[in-house]
Chain A
């Protein structure tokens, strides 16, 4: 499928948002509210990473807005010394869309979770991605409902025993990256809460991208789903399981980089031992491929049991954003026709009643 070129100028992700020369520190982004997540919650690390990362953008703080839905992670805006709205369950992408469309001078971030974004708010998520609204969506995936105290979520592995599924959950889970790519998101990335460096790199690329950027963050919930991502945190285990993507580099992993990703069957990808297939067969990652099938194939390498999981930026392509195009229509209409209210009200067919 080709993208229709609307003839709009190419812009950076933050074009139009006022910058400042004043140096900023992470603490400038901390609000005066006491952070109230459970001790050890992965949300703390992500908050910290975001607060450390934002100063590097050099934006005026008052032009940054965080919009969230409902869930543990959706408390995020209260802890940021920016503008923010803690809205209602699942609706943050819709609210942020209205804000982004009407205010090109804002950097708008959505904070959501696996339940918020993929269950109750699934519709808004896919449509926001399809439209390519200039929003950065941070999806905290802890594979459980935390705020309501421990029911399975749409990313929980099948058979999950929880309060609401004592005999095991029946549903097949979503892979959020696959879902986003199915909606043809122009930017999709994944990172681990504990990997500050990897997370920051994905955030940086997301911020620079003009359009919707979905960043899935694996986040540990020590209270209701502790250790969900532990296999990715043990140093050796992680090397065998995590396939980290870097644009322009061959996709290799393993304790000694002994594994690689190679083509398989009809448009698929699989993991192979490099010693068996040869380095020349290993796929060189290209996040800018127009066709989302390649990134989709990459996302399918992640398994429910995390035997493999792919991190980094899957896809990063240029496509006109909905908000830029919507503003362009308004500006063109204004230039073409003056806003003459009296003429509008009068219309074409009038008649006049005279006094007699």
Chain B
């Protein structure tokens, strides 16, 4: 596991990305976790400006980007200071000595140079003057010193590629393509990359190199994908499989904007992206499009959901299909925009006025966003309801290999619009609130359909006719009908992962904690401690078998990156004494800490 850390201007994300691609091309399984500053350009060389990229690759299937790196590449004192506490004793530390001058050291509060005192004695430290060597290697290119120095991240990548025997052709090709308009910069980067590689080869200080064999994954064709890209692709696929045009009405917000960026590239699939004046207009346009027979989608993060709540309520009342994507981040308020959290579950569940039930779907990993998006669209279209999709920052920006699905195997999502009058009293009228007896969905009668003219809106509707009604019994009935519709949504049963079948402790999770929980479960099982794991994709409604599953175990524990929101829902609904383990640091759980937590619970039950 490797972490690249440097100033946010040092190109750390690009370096990490390329190494990831190299690992993927080699057939290693991998998971990544970028961590960048909230400020676009925080002051150079300072702690807030540190950007890092962690990559976990191995010859077995990986569930998490990993807790602690084996190798830390620190491009400056700030990067060292921010990341050294995560490097375990004996870990490899590669530092760019060129940046360790007095000014930079003082900036981050180092009284003495850590490379000169013995504070790094526990690690295998490799001091490399990356900038100097890079500038030297590029001397003949005629490039200015400043430009040459900027290629030092490629030097670092080259060095790491040598250490881990990574194939290099892909990176060289990538650099030439990326800088195709500036061939001299492209060659400079390639040269710097090679310089790093040769440096490793010829320097004695790197005595050991590591060879990681390709991982054992299911057969098929893979690519690497981030959560936001997979989510966007899921929407493109849902548009194709439903035959509906997609209208994304949205407003830029971290960490959801990449969904807009991605979808705006795919207009050839009949996708319209509308960057609205605010969050409210974004969802308004999406709902207007749904009313007209398109698939309306809006994407945002927690603060945006707060603004969209009233329109979600209107979608509940008008019973129109609508997909609302919440890429969760640290809250409340503006909170931690670039950090991850799972604290919008109760907002998604209850954050509207009145009894306003909305189905909730949550992906558990970057590639799972594709399936989750398609599933959310299935629910929206089948049940004529807004659906909330809860992703989070870790999933959105993290990446992993994705077994590319066969397009012929994707589900059919086609829908039928209403074309005929349907009044049950023989009047020959069209009633917009006559329900399908199985799904309780109302007909989707789009403007332009002759004879079906009708009016909908946010006021309470009379059952069947859909006229305005203030009648007490009717309101009671409609509130219950809307709830029953959502409660009755078909979702697959929860699948319990319990290899030995004798676990007494169940760990329940949802969303991006799938990786760390799964990894922790494996670790404790290796220690001979059985544990069962259930990971929920559907949070409203819950799978039908969930109550049975929960009641089968002596102890149920729910780790969450919030203060126990799922635990609260499970306790309320199933009267099960769910234990909560919570952490809200804006960072994913570490498998190591969850391993300890699970081991303690299992031992407690066994005693």
B448 touches A105 (CB 8 A): yes
A88 touches B267 (CB 8 A): no
A82 at interface by CB-CB < 8 Å:
yes
Least Cβ–Cβ distance between A48 and chain B, in angstroms: 18
A97 touches B285 (CB 8 A): yes
Q: Which of B241-285 contact A (CB under 8 A)?
A: 245, 247, 249, 266-272, 274, 276-278, 280-282, 284-285
B456 at interface by CB-CB < 8 Å:
yes
A316 at interface by CB-CB < 8 Å:
no
With A105-B448, A330-B271 as given contacts, are A345 and B405 in contact (CB-CB < 8 Å)? yes
B99 at interface by CB-CB < 8 Å:
no
With A98-B287, A106-B447, A346-B221 as given contacts, are A88 and B310 in contact (CB-CB < 8 Å)? yes
Stretch of B20-28, B542-550, B565-573 contacting A (4+ beta carbons < 8 Å) = B20-28
Q: Which of A100-121 contact B (CB under 8 A)?
A: 100-103, 105-106
A95 touches B285 (CB 8 A): yes
**Complex contacts, A102 vs chain B, CB 8 Å:** 245, 247, 272, 288-289, 292-294
**Complex contacts, B120 vs chain A, CB 8 Å:** none
Nearest to B177 among chain A residues (CB) is A348
Least Cβ–Cβ distance between B512 and chain A, in angstroms: 22
Least Cβ–Cβ distance between B417 and chain A, in angstroms: 13
B453 touches A78 (CB 8 A): no
With A85-B457, A338-B268 as given contacts, are A106 and B287 in contact (CB-CB < 8 Å)? no
Q: Which of A68-103 contact B (CB under 8 A)?
A: 70, 77-78, 80-88, 91, 94-103
B233 at interface by CB-CB < 8 Å:
yes
A235 at interface by CB-CB < 8 Å:
no
A94 touches B272 (CB 8 A): no
A330 touches B270 (CB 8 A): yes
A339 at interface by CB-CB < 8 Å:
yes
A148 at interface by CB-CB < 8 Å:
no
B274 touches A95 (CB 8 A): no
Least Cβ–Cβ distance between B167 and chain A, in angstroms: 11
Q: Which of B413-469 contact A (CB under 8 A)?
A: 447-459, 467-468
**Bound complex: CA A163 to CA B218 (Å):** 71
* Cβ-neighbour of A78 out of B288, B447, B468 (below 8 A): B468
**Complex contacts, A96 vs chain B, CB 8 Å:** 288
B237 at interface by CB-CB < 8 Å:
yes
Nearest to B403 among chain A residues (CB) is A353
A62 touches B233 (CB 8 A): no
**Complex contacts, A78 vs chain B, CB 8 Å:** 455, 457, 468
B484 at interface by CB-CB < 8 Å:
no
**Bound complex: CA A67 to CA B269 (Å):** 28
B289 touches A91 (CB 8 A): no
With A95-B291, A351-B222 as given contacts, are A86 and B310 in contact (CB-CB < 8 Å)? no
**Complex contacts, B24 vs chain A, CB 8 Å:** 349, 351
Q: Which of A312-356 contact B (CB under 8 A)?
A: 326-327, 329-330, 333-334, 336-339, 341-342, 344-347, 349-355
With A334-B268, A345-B233, A353-B222 as given contacts, are A62 and B404 in contact (CB-CB < 8 Å)? no
B223 at interface by CB-CB < 8 Å:
yes
**Complex contacts, A97 vs chain B, CB 8 Å:** 274, 276, 281, 284-285, 288
Report B458-488 CB contacts with A as 1/0, cut-off 8 Å.
1100000001100000000000000000000
**Complex contacts, A339 vs chain B, CB 8 Å:** 240, 268-270
**Complex contacts, B280 vs chain A, CB 8 Å:** 91, 94, 124
**Complex contacts, A101 vs chain B, CB 8 Å:** 247, 272, 274, 285, 289
**Complex contacts, B451 vs chain A, CB 8 Å:** 62
Report A197-225 CB contacts with B as 1/0, cut-off 8 Å.
00000000000000000000000000000
B183 at interface by CB-CB < 8 Å:
no
B458 touches A87 (CB 8 A): yes
Nearest to A76 among chain B residues (CB) is B455
**Complex contacts, A60 vs chain B, CB 8 Å:** 450
B217 at interface by CB-CB < 8 Å:
yes
A330 touches B447 (CB 8 A): no
A98 touches B285 (CB 8 A): yes
B604 at interface by CB-CB < 8 Å:
no
**Bound complex: CA A77 to CA B455 (Å):** 7
B286 at interface by CB-CB < 8 Å:
yes
With A63-B447, A341-B236, A351-B24 as given contacts, are A98 and B268 in contact (CB-CB < 8 Å)? no
B27 touches A353 (CB 8 A): yes
**Complex contacts, B276 vs chain A, CB 8 Å:** 94, 97, 127
With A62-B448, A83-B453 as given contacts, are A355 and B288 in contact (CB-CB < 8 Å)? no
A85 touches B27 (CB 8 A): no
B284 touches A95 (CB 8 A): yes
Least Cβ–Cβ distance between B371 and chain A, in angstroms: 12
A329 touches B447 (CB 8 A): no
**Complex contacts, A81 vs chain B, CB 8 Å:** 453
Nearest to A86 among chain B residues (CB) is B457
With A94-B276, A95-B288, A351-B222 as given contacts, are A337 and B268 in contact (CB-CB < 8 Å)? yes
Least Cβ–Cβ distance between B322 and chain A, in angstroms: 10
**Bound complex: CA A82 to CA B224 (Å):** 50
Nearest to B218 among chain A residues (CB) is A353
**Complex contacts, A337 vs chain B, CB 8 Å:** 268
B274 touches A326 (CB 8 A): yes
With A83-B453, A97-B288, A345-B404 as given contacts, are A127 and B268 in contact (CB-CB < 8 Å)? no
**Complex contacts, B454 vs chain A, CB 8 Å:** 83-84
**Complex contacts, A127 vs chain B, CB 8 Å:** 276-277, 281
**Complex contacts, A347 vs chain B, CB 8 Å:** 223, 225
A86 touches B455 (CB 8 A): yes
A61 at interface by CB-CB < 8 Å:
yes
B170 at interface by CB-CB < 8 Å:
yes
Most chain-A CB neighbours within 10 Å: which of B217, B245, B269, B450?
Answer: B269
Nearest to B283 among chain A residues (CB) is A94
Least Cβ–Cβ distance between A182 and chain B, in angstroms: 15
**Bound complex: CA A295 to CA B452 (Å):** 42
**Complex contacts, A349 vs chain B, CB 8 Å:** 21, 24-25, 170, 223-224
Nearest to B468 among chain A residues (CB) is A78
B223 touches A65 (CB 8 A): no
B515 at interface by CB-CB < 8 Å:
no
B268 touches A333 (CB 8 A): yes
Report B209-239 CB contacts with A as 1/0, cut-off 8 Å.
0000000011111111100000001001100
**Bound complex: CA A342 to CA B468 (Å):** 47
**Complex contacts, B455 vs chain A, CB 8 Å:** 31, 33, 77-78, 80, 83-86
* Cβ-neighbour of B287 out of A95, A100, A345 (below 8 A): A95
**Bound complex: CA A106 to CA B447 (Å):** 8
Nearest to B294 among chain A residues (CB) is A102
Least Cβ–Cβ distance between A99 and chain B, in angstroms: 4
A307 at interface by CB-CB < 8 Å:
no
A99 touches B289 (CB 8 A): yes
Nearest to A31 among chain B residues (CB) is B455
* Cβ-neighbour of B407 out of A330, A341, A350 (below 8 A): A341
**Complex contacts, B450 vs chain A, CB 8 Å:** 60, 62
A164 at interface by CB-CB < 8 Å:
no
**Bound complex: CA A81 to CA B454 (Å):** 7
A86 touches B277 (CB 8 A): no
- B-binding residues in A (CB < 8 A): 31, 33, 60-63, 65, 67, 70, 77-78, 80-88, 91, 94-103, 105-106, 123-124, 127, 326-327, 329-330, 333-334, 336-339, 341-342, 344-347, 349-355
The 9 closest A-B pairs by CB, nearest first: A98-B288, A86-B457, A94-B284, A98-B285, A333-B267, A95-B288, A94-B281, A83-B447, A127-B277
- A-binding residues in B (CB < 8 A): 21, 24-25, 27, 170, 217-225, 233, 236-237, 240, 245, 247, 249, 266-272, 274, 276-278, 280-282, 284-294, 296, 310-311, 313-314, 318, 404-405, 407, 447-459, 467-468
* A-B contacts, 15 listed (Cβ < 8 Å): A31-B455, A63-B448, A65-B447, A83-B447, A91-B311, A94-B276, A102-B247, A124-B280, A330-B267, A338-B268, A344-B269, A349-B21, A349-B224, A351-B25, A355-B219
Not counting A339-B269, A345-B407, a sample of 6 additional A-B residue pairs whose C-beta atoms are within 8 angstroms of each other reads: A62-B453, A98-B247, A99-B288, A102-B288, A341-B237, A351-B24
